[in-house]
Amino acid sequence: MTESGNICGLKREDFQTTIDGRKTDLFILRNSKGHEVAITNYGGAMVAIMVPDKHGNMANIIQGHDNIQDVINSPEPFLSTLVGRYANRICRGRFQLNGKEYQLKINNGPNSLHGGPTGFHARVWEPLQMNERTLVLSLISAYGEEGFTGEVKITVVYSFSDNDELSIEYMATTNKKTIINLTSHGFFSLAGIANPTPSIEPLICQINANYYLPIDETSIPTGEIRFVEGTPFDFREPKAIGKDIDADNEQIRNGAGYDHCFVLNKREEGELSFAARIEELSTGRTMEVYTTEPGLQVYTDNWADGYSGQHGATFPRRSAICFEAQHFPDSPNHPYFPSVVLRPGEEYKQKTMYCFGLRNKD
């Protein structure tokens, strides 16, 4: 649905413009409960997820903007967008494929981040709203774009179920051997966005990972796969995000908090399995994450500065948490990490689900 009569208060016309001949728009997914997910085809950005708290009060629990110009010019360019061709960082933007070295654009210190400055987050996707609950976005990434090899065709399907399950499915093919790593960079604020949006530090968090990837001072994996036990990264049992977020720990300092990839526990490669759960105590809202991906980048919004967002909301430091399901950062430069190579005739597939609910009453 694209009409403006919705509970998120967003207006379709505020998201309509033309960029390089392609039109942007706003799309509303609505389930039988009347709950909503609002998405623009500019970068596939989610601009609203409207679900109730324990008292039935509706609020937007994802950070976004209320018009297309603010989405385009956001101080956080990846705010709740799709990310590609390569999610996360590649060291110095360099990797080798078939004996040839490729150089990507640098946009994060000395490294390439999230596909570069004009990656998938900054593209106008071709939209097709299949029905009230399903939106399909497609894109062709040209050979040489941001330094990547191969022409890649990508399809992303958003669907929103009656059980408040937001499913994001990704498919891609290439005409030449290349690398690919896609994700959605949702900035979740389960308390509801506000002025100011509350800190995520009180959230109770569980992550289904026995290991994580340590990073250097530029946020590139060192290559080690480290056991979480006895570290601030042990979320195998639920604990408050803020409990160890400022611990006297080199890894916490390197990430300015949490900005690390967790190695998800898997019985078999590619299975759709539980990755993480968060619970917001004051509202009773919960979110569970399920994914087919081997890794989950957890980012605690360590660099926000209180910039303005939707409907007068402001987004201070650590007012959101991101669960970016993906392959590992810098995988092309670590041969023993799960492969991110895509070849002609193969299909890249990924599915991640964000399941919203309420804490069980005691």
- pLDDT greater than 70 at residue 155: yes
8 Å CB contact between 285 and 356: yes
Q: Is 114 exposed, middle or buried (0-12, 13-18, 19+ CB in 10 A)?
A: buried
pLDDT of residue 286: 98
- The answer to the question of residue 7 being in a domain is no
Q: Which of 185, 260, 279, 327 is catalytic?
A: 185
Residues 153 and 176 sit within 8 Å (Cβ to Cβ)? no
185 is catalytic: yes
29 touches 160 (CB < 8 A): yes
| 3-state helix/strand/coil string of the chain | CCCCCCCCCCCHHHHCCEECCEECCEEEEECCCCCEEEEECECCCEEEEEEECCCCCEEECECCCCCHHHHHCCCCCCCCCEECCECCEEHHHEEEECCEEEECCCCECCEEECCCCCCHHHCECEEEEEECCEEEEEEEECCCHHHCCCCEEEEEEEEECCCCEEEEEEEEEECCCEECECEECCCECCCCCCCCCCCCCCCEEEECEEEECCECCCCCECCCCEECCCCCCCCCCCEEHHHCCCCCCHHHHHHCCCEEEEEECCCCCCCCEEEEEEECCCCCEEEEEEECCCEEEEECCCCCCCEECHHHCEECCCCCEEEEEECCCCHHHCCCCCCCEECCCCCEEEEEEEEEEECCCC
| 0.85 exceeded by pTM | yes
Q: Which residue has the tokens 């080199």?
A: 250
Number of C-beta neighbours around residue 233 at 10 A: 25
Say if 134 falls within a structural domain.
Answer: yes
CA distance 132 to 145: 33
Cβ atoms of 105 and 92 closer than 8 Å: no
Say if strands 295-299 and 322-326 run parallel, antiparallel, or are unpaired: antiparallel
Average pLDDT, integer, range 135-161: 98
Instruction: Report whether pLDDT(129) > 60.
Output: yes
* Residue 5, pLDDT score: 73
CATH number of the domain that 143 lies in? 2.70.98.10
pLDDT exceeds cutoff 70 at 187 = yes
Q: Which domain holds residue 200?
A: 12-358
| Domains contained in the chain, number | 1
Judge whether residue 95 has pLDDT over 60: yes
Q: Is residue 1 part of a domain?
A: no
Q: What is the pLDDT of residues 204-245, one digit of tens each?
A: 999 999 999 999 999 999 999 999 999 999 999 999 999 999
> In this model, does residue 4 exceed pLDDT 90?
no
Say if 2 falls within a structural domain. Answer: no
Of 279, 288, 324, 327, which is the active-site residue? 324
Domain membership of residue 227 (yes or no) is: yes
Beta-bridge partner residues of 343: none
* Residue 3 within any structural domain of the chain: no
Is 324 among the catalytic positions? yes
Kindly report, residue by residue over 298-309, the tens digit of the pLDDT.
Answer: 999 999 999 999
Specify if 334 maps to a domain: yes
Of the chain, the percentage scoring pLDDT greater than 90 comes to: 98
Domain membership of residue 33 (yes or no) is yes
